[in-house]
Amino acid sequence: MLKCRTVWKKLAPLARSSSTVCRQNVRRAVLNNGRTPAQVPAAHMSTGPAGGGRENQLYALLVGAACLGGGIYVCTSIHLLWIALTTDEPVEAAPVEAAPVVEEAAEQPAAAVVEETEPAAAVVEETEPAAAVVEETEPAAAVVEETEPAAAVVEETEPAAAVVEETEPAAAVVEETEQPAPPVAEEAAEQPAAAVVEEGKTCKHRGDVAPVASKIPSHARYLLIGGGTASFAAARSIRARDPGARVLIVTDEPDLPYMRPPLSKELWFSDDPSVTETLRFKQWNGKERSIYFQPPSFYINPEELNSAENGGVAVLTGKKVVHMDVRGNKVKLDDDTEIAYDKCLIATGGVPRNLQVIERAGEEVMSKTTLFRKIEDFKLLDKVSRNIKSVTIIGGGFLGSELACALGRRSAESDLEVIQMFPEKGNMGKVLPEYLSNWTTEKVKKEGVKIISEALVKSVVAKDDKLEILLKDGRLVKTDHIVAAVGLEPNVDLAKSAGLEVDSDFGGYRVNAELQARSNIWVAGDAACFYDIRLGRRRVEHHDHAVVSGRLAGENMTGASKPYWHQSMFWSDLGPDVGYEAIGIVDSSLPTVGVFAKATAKDTPKAATEKSGTGIRSESETEDTAVSPVASSTPAPPTVGHKDDYGKGVIFYLRDKVVVGIILWNVFNRMPIARKIIKDGEEHADLNEVAKLFNIHED
């Protein structure tokens, strides 16, 4: 029914136009002959008698020409309509020659101007009386359904040429399709006219808008989520075992992979005023290097990854993976881009924790609080500390104590007041035994830091351009800026969409001995909760663990199938003169045994790195393999009494009389020995004898 109605709407104007032509021709014939057609004898119309024959012939000629022209026009229009209704492509009207009415009219070309009056109608105005005139009161016959406002005005400039210019919605458009088609203009001259169509902004054609070439690969054989130490170690490991591998690293940071430890250590002791721009520093051994693992030339552009003949490592910066489809082996980025993968590593690290009292304090307090983790945090804190008079570090762990010492040294050169507060009795109270924690606290004070111990923050408010920190015991601390160094929360945002298990005790993704979370998904670094064959399930947040776990995950992604048995270490330096390295479970709540000796000039972090040649000590020590320890032949001097002088020594942490953790205090390059002691898991009757294995009594 709808189709029939549509066809009738298009054919009705044609019928009315044909009837109008016939009536006009009959009226002219009657006026010329002075009589009606009924008064003409039939014999005269066919034989052409002498009396009045020419008028009858002219009448017959007019009626015949009108009928013939109307028939041809109707047939042509019906044919075009049928094609338009049965095809999706635009149809161009064929030029139709006007039927001659009289010889005189054919000799003179008619100049017809088609002017737009309404969006869907056109009026043809007569300019020569000799030509057959069609006065249109309805849409023209060749008009097909209009869909979008992309039409034309037809203007005749010459008898044999027409220019079609698009302006506003008008009549000459084609039937609705997926993409609006160019308008079709009917030509009214005897010879075919050349039409020029100028496309307007509102006219949309198939292929007008070329798709923007994406710079993000749609597929990566090895996809590494996260741009930290673990991801970079995995990439190098993959390339070492599969030289032609194509590795894509996706990171939400704007920087290429870099090492984090110098952000709270060596960078603060640089003499270069442009260190925040160069991010280069001198290690304790005097050698200079950048915090970036490799220069930009080491990597290839992401868009060239799949076409690189020898493969390579590409880094997609400033992009965050927000969804993971494990079954479909693909991830979605924060801009809705999807990347398919064959094997994937999750090395998303963690995000710094904050105190709830600070989060609830309001925007002004948050704007004056730094959560220290990234390069931008280092740059911000460096700038802020040069323009304020007071800064307070909340937290007494590794990061908080390192930053306190670094800013304390800067305070000697300026009027900056550096305050460090923590709930424990001394610095690193959760790690070090109490006597060593107290000694460390005194060392930090000598660096120019004001220590507030056993401090529990009750509230923080902004008042008079200052931050007021109220403690639960009533003490009030006023400061200009706060640095919250209260731990790290593993980033497990992808756990829900990926269906991965998160450990309820330690946090992080639970993985097996090969660091696998699923058949083609591995996890490394801070976000991995792994099973230690000696110490049980653990999660470690240190540089060395990121290096070793990332390296192992990369090997297993290429088919190595190796278990993770390595005991990772960590280290902390309180300036160039005091530092320690630790391995295993180091918890001050465990029983400890400490063996100390008098320190020498060689027993400092600076001297240790001069000997090893690297400031990132785990890069050298993790390559070593300890042999059976051999005790020093040097006799041990009398045990150092409680003189509060802990120059160097070894602290053993015990669980069920078995060593589960070791701290080497100002003792360096002995970590393979400590690792073997923990791996053996034996019970030792005299730990003083075990301490001799570290040669702490040698000068």
Instruction: Transcribe 374-398 into DSSP letters.
Output: SHHHHHHHHHHHTT-SEEEEE--SH
Pairing of strands 648-655, 658-665: antiparallel
pLDDT 10s digits, 479-496 = 999 999 999 999 999 999
- Mean residue pLDDT of the chain comes to 76
pLDDT at 567: 85
Pair (535, 409) in one structural domain: no
pLDDT at 212: 36
Pair (553, 647) in one structural domain: no
Pair (614, 670) in one structural domain: yes
Q: Which helix (H) or strand (E) holds 221?
A: strand 219-225
Pair (348, 230) in one structural domain: yes
Domain boundary pick from 462, 488, 514: 488
**Residue 459 φ then ψ, to 5°:** -160, 160
Rounded CA-CA distance 92/279 in Å is 67
Residues in the chain with pLDDT < 70? 1-57, 59, 81-214, 284-285, 575-576, 601-644, 699
| Helix spans in 336-374 (H) | 356-359, 363-367
pLDDT at 644: 59
Beta bridge partners of 345: 224, 522
Report which of 686, 666, 698 is spatially closest to residue 284, judged by C-alpha positions: 666
Q: Residue 592 domain-assigned?
A: yes
Domain boundary pick from 471, 488, 505: 488
Q: Is 31 exposed, middle or buried (0-12, 13-18, 19+ CB in 10 A)?
A: exposed
Q: For residue 94, give the DSSP letter.
A: P
Domain boundary pick from 558, 580, 608: 558
Pair (383, 431) in one structural domain: yes
Pair (347, 416) in one structural domain: no
pTM confidence score: 0.66
Which structural domain, as residue segments, surrounds residue 681? 569-693
Pair (417, 497) in one structural domain: no
Pair (332, 368) in one structural domain: no
Q: For residue 212, give the DSSP letter.
A: P
- Helices and strands (DSSP H and E) totals, the chain: 17, 33
Q: Residue 406 domain-assigned?
A: yes
Angle between helices 543-557 and 229-241 (to 10 degrees): 30
Q: Which helix (H) or strand (E) holds 350?
A: strand 350-352
Q: Residue 542 domain-assigned?
A: yes
Q: Which helix (H) or strand (E) holds 435?
A: helix 434-446
Q: Residue 110 domain-assigned?
A: no
Contact 59, 34 (CB under 8 A): no
Q: Is 220 exposed, middle or buried (0-12, 13-18, 19+ CB in 10 A)?
A: buried
Pair (381, 472) in one structural domain: yes
Q: Residue 479 domain-assigned?
A: yes
Pairing of strands 350-352, 476-479: unpaired
Pair (359, 482) in one structural domain: yes
Rounded CA-CA distance 539/215 in Å is 36
Q: Residue 159 domain-assigned?
A: no
Pair (448, 512) in one structural domain: no
Pair (316, 230) in one structural domain: yes
Please state, as a whole number, how many other Cβ atoms lie within 10 Å of the Cβ of residue 594: 19
Q: Which runs of E-coded beta strand occur in 500-539?
A: 509-510, 516-518, 521-523, 528-532, 536-538
- Terminal-residue alpha carbon distance, the chain: 106
pLDDT at 44: 42
Q: Residue 202 domain-assigned?
A: no
- Give the CATH number of the domain where residue 239 resides: 3.50.50.60
Tokens 């009315």 -> residue: 16
Q: Residue 114 domain-assigned?
A: no
Please state, as a whole number, how many other Cβ atoms lie within 10 Å of the Cβ of residue 418: 26
With vertex at residue 56, the alpha carbon angle to CA 107 and CA 21, rounded to the nearest 5 degrees, is 60
The amino acid occupying position 613 is: G
- Report the number of distinct structural domains present in the chain: 3
- Give the CATH number of the domain where residue 663 resides: 3.30.390.30
